[in-house]
Amino acid sequence: MEAYLDNSATTQCGKQACDIMVRLLTQDYGNPSSLHLKGVEAERYVKDAREKIARTLKADEKEIVFTSGGTESNNLAIIGAAMANRRAGMHLITTSIEHPSVLNAMEYLKEQGFEITYLPVDENGIISLEDLREAVREDTILVSVMQVNNEIGAIEPIEQAAKCIKEKNPKTLFHVDAIQSYGKMRIYPKRMGIDLLSVSGHKIHGPKGCGFLYIREKTKIKPIIFGGGQQKGMRSGTENVPAIAGLAAAAVESYENFEEKTAHLYEIKKAFTDGIRQLPGAVINGKCGQDSAPHIASVSFTDVRSEVLLHDLEQRQIYVSAGSACSSNTKKKVSATLKNIGVRQDLLENTVRFSFSVHTTMEEILYVLEELPRILQLRRKYTRH
């Protein structure tokens, strides 16, 4: 049996997304910038995708800019907004547990002379609204907070955060990394006070290498990619029409029967975490009820290193992750998220992320809960002296 529990790293591409992508790769393959019929057809697909995605956010289609994925969306939002508004101030705020595509963009801006404030989090990975309120200043031009943490599934109080920011400084822009929340939570940027919102396609059963950035109308932002002036100059480069259409198909599908899908995810997660609690030496990080993301569970195991456990699980066709997949091919670093929520030193390198999708079955969960105790018992037998 196979159990794929690494859906926060990537998801299986859905049939509707695959079908439309194949059609656009083999039949309607025109360049949307071309003036002939093939180009006009391709442009129509892009426009249709923009309209479909905008509807999921109750936004306007002109507020959607297609990108190569979450990393580019975060970089465009943060660097683009900072550069466009630097005359109003040089102060930026983010949290200590953001994704590297946010933290590294902030570090780049720090090198350019910007001042960065990093908000701490509590043991569940949640920021303090009071800390946020105190951090916003007259020269604060941007705040960036992820909605759902990619490692532990913490849900940040985004609406309340927006209110704090705008009350303190109405001119401060608010960027939300929604890469782990879009498709799993209903998000309406205008109502919630969000100016910029990043999304990635392959986290919602769409294709890799495609995403979008919601840019609220009249938000000042500069492009970071220059060229032929596509997408009104905000993101130059020939649009990846097959991926864009696949992304839109996945976005629409992710919000169909939404309550039923969410209920399934929470049911799966509850069964999994209830089973984990029965295992000796297993510690669940952060919240795991309905006040946490429905698809992520972080677990630390005493005396068993995560890399060893990953390979043991893999041999049984169980696929999980040791943390953010985006940095898995580089030299492994201790998770900043786990350190910032106060995970014990001896558990920092013993932590595994299990992440589910609407396709995850109860049979997969029971299979993992059956195999885990055997693996842990065997590994601890060899590691203890």
Look at residues 196, 185, 208 and name the one whose alpha carbon lies nearest to residue 326: 208
Q: Is residue 81 helix, strand or coil?
A: helix
pLDDT reported for residue 385: 44
Write out the DSSP string of 262-296.
HHHHHHHHHHHHHHHTTSTTEEEES--STTB-TTE
Higher pLDDT: 327 or 35? It is 35
Residues of the chain with CATH 3.40.640.10: 15-254
Task: Write out pLDDT tens, residues 268-318.
Answer: 999 999 999 999 999 999 999 999 999 999 999 999 999 999 999 999 999
Render pLDDT for 37-81 as a digit per residue (tens, 0 to 9).
999 999 999 999 999 999 999 999 999 999 999 999 999 999 999
pTM summary value: 0.96
DSSP E strands, 159-267: 173-177, 196-200, 211-215
pLDDT band with cut points at 50, 70 and 90 for residue 384? low
pLDDT for res 169: 98
Examine the pLDDT at 4 and tell me if it is beyond 90: yes
Per residue in 199-257, pLDDT (tens digit) is: 999 999 999 999 999 999 999 999 999 999 999 999 999 999 999 999 999 999 999 99
Catalytically annotated residue among 18, 210, 288, 326: 326
What's the chain's length in residues? 385
Q: Is the pLDDT of residue 134 over 70?
A: yes
333 confidence band (pLDDT: 50, 70, 90): confident
Q: What is the pLDDT of residue 326?
A: 55
Residue 94 has φ and ψ, to the nearest 5°, of: -145, -170
Report pLDDT digits (tens) over 175-194: 999 999 999 999 999 999 99
d(CA 333, CA 172): 33
pLDDT tens-digit series, residues 142-153: 999 999 999 999
In CATH terms, the fold of domain 3-11+258-383 is Aspartate Aminotransferase, domain 1 (3.90.1150)
pLDDT band for 260, please (50, 70, 90 cuts): very high
Name all contacts of 230-239 with Cβ < 8 Å and 24+ positions apart: 230/32, 230/33, 231/65, 231/66, 234/65, 234/76, 235/65, 235/66, 235/67, 235/76, 238/31, 238/32, 238/33, 239/32, 239/42, 239/46, 239/66
* φ, ψ dihedrals at 62, nearest 5°: -70, -5
Confidence of residue 325 (pLDDT cuts 50, 70, 90): low
Q: What is the model's pLDDT at position 383?
A: 64
pLDDT at position 323: 64
Query: Binning pLDDT at 50, 70 and 90, where does residue 381 land?
Result: confident
288 as an active site residue: the answer is no
What mean pLDDT is reported for the chain? 96
Looking at residues 322-336, what average pLDDT do you find?
65
The full DSSP string for 16-63 is HHHHHHHHHHHTS---TT-SSHHHHHHHHHHHHHHHHHHHHHT--GGG
Q: Indicate the angle between helix axes 362-383 and 306-315, nearest 10 degrees.
A: 130
- In the chain, which residues fall in CATH 3.90.1150.10? 3-11+258-383
Class level of CATH domain 15-254: alpha beta
